[in-house]
Amino acid sequence: MIEKSNYLFVYGTLLDESNEFAIYLKQNCNYFGKGKLKGRLYDLGEYPGAIPDENYPGYVYGNVFELKNTAQAFLKYIDDYEGFGEDQEQPNLFIREMRDVETDSRRMDCWVYLYNLSVEDFRVIESGDYTGYKNL
């Protein structure tokens, strides 16, 4: 059975208001609030990558969006942007998983794109905040 969620947690280039996919996100989702995911955030060059880690003391910070009723088509469009899916280069650059995200009001299951390749040569963004790190 496929897990379903009407929420998406974003932490990287999808927060950049000049990004065409971020514009698409805003047109097809409702902003829910700020959120954080237990784990590490890496600077991969043109974009960040999150690696979940319940034992890591820090968080990855971002925003939670509520998907409108076109959730599957929306996610497919964003999957293509994130390099996720059977029709994408293998292994996928990112994978989309359901993760526990903390918001000001509650913990909730959200879809999140997680980096799927080695982070060995990349630097951790200690703050966990890509927008502050890149001044988006």
As a whole number of angstroms, the distance between CA 89 and CA 114 comes to 16
As a whole number of angstroms, the distance between CA 24 and CA 14 comes to 9
Average pLDDT over residues 41-56: 97
What lies within 8 Å, CB to CB, of 89 at 6+ separation is 83
Confidence class for position 71, pLDDT limits 50, 70, 90: confident
pLDDT reading at 80 higher than 80: yes
Q: Residues 85, 30, 48, CA angle at the centre, nearest 5°?
A: 45
Confidence class for position 2, pLDDT limits 50, 70, 90: very low
- Asked whether the beta carbons of 11 and 41 are under 8 A apart, the reply is yes
As a whole number of angstroms, the distance between CA 11 and CA 28 comes to 17
pLDDT reading at 103 higher than 70: yes
pLDDT reading at 1 higher than 70: no
Instruction: Look at residue 105 in the predicted model and tell me its pLDDT.
Output: 92
- For the structural domain made of 7-134, what CATH number should be given? 3.10.490.10
Average pLDDT over residues 108-132: 96
Average pLDDT over residues 24-33: 94
